[in-house]
Amino acid sequence: MSDAVSALKGARASGMVDLADAGPTGMITLRGDHGLLGDSLSSVLGLSAPERRRVVTGEAGEVLWMSPDELLVVLPYDTAPDVAAALETALGDAFATVAVVSDARSVMHLSGAQTRDVLAKLMPVDFAGFELGELRRSRVAQVAAAVWRRSENDWALICFRSVGGYVFEALATVGKPGGEVGLYR
């Protein structure tokens, strides 16, 4: 078995924000009733299903609300297959699906006081009241993405692997010094 490699291969950029490839990241998509999924998550990871547009964080990882019938579990890359198997067992014959999608997505970390300004240049989202633990599915320029706020100045963004380079370069470009807009302070 070869070593996992992220689509961005450790890329980093600095400017108005620090932008970094998260590296290989484990991800599991869960589809089904959130109550049922939450029970399984609780028994396997000790995490609950998040409320609409929210993220639940714990020692085992993060659970992201993706839609009324979809959750995304973000955890260490090498644990994803075993956790997915445990979730399938916990769900039994319930009407739900579990799929490891680690190699289908790119995750990027953005940090710095001007992160909301940089994101607002490419995403049609009002970041003014964006709270800690909040998640938004939208787009970056013309591609699907989700962004969530991990702390005051730390954010994470996820997109499909095939457009990871495009998203990274777009964020790096609009984050260059001299492009400050001062929307969010």
Tell me: the pLDDT tens digits for 22-73? 999 999 999 999 999 999 999 999 999 999 999 999 999 999 999 999 999 9
- What are the backbone dihedrals phi and psi of residue 77, each rounded to the nearest 5 degrees, phi first? -55, -50
- In this structure, what DSSP letter does residue 33 have? -
Task: State residue 173's pLDDT score.
Answer: 96
Nearest to 42 by CA among 58, 27, 29, 31: 58
Nearest to 83 by CA among 126, 25, 127: 25
Strands of the 55-58 sheet, one edge to the other: 55-58, 61-67, 70-76, 25-31, 97-100
Question: What is this structure's pTM?
Answer: 0.94
- Ordered domains of the chain (ranges, CATH): 12-174 (3.30.1360.120)
Q: Please check the confidence at residue 130 and state whether its pLDDT lies above 80.
A: yes
Specify the residue for token string 């019938």. Answer: 69
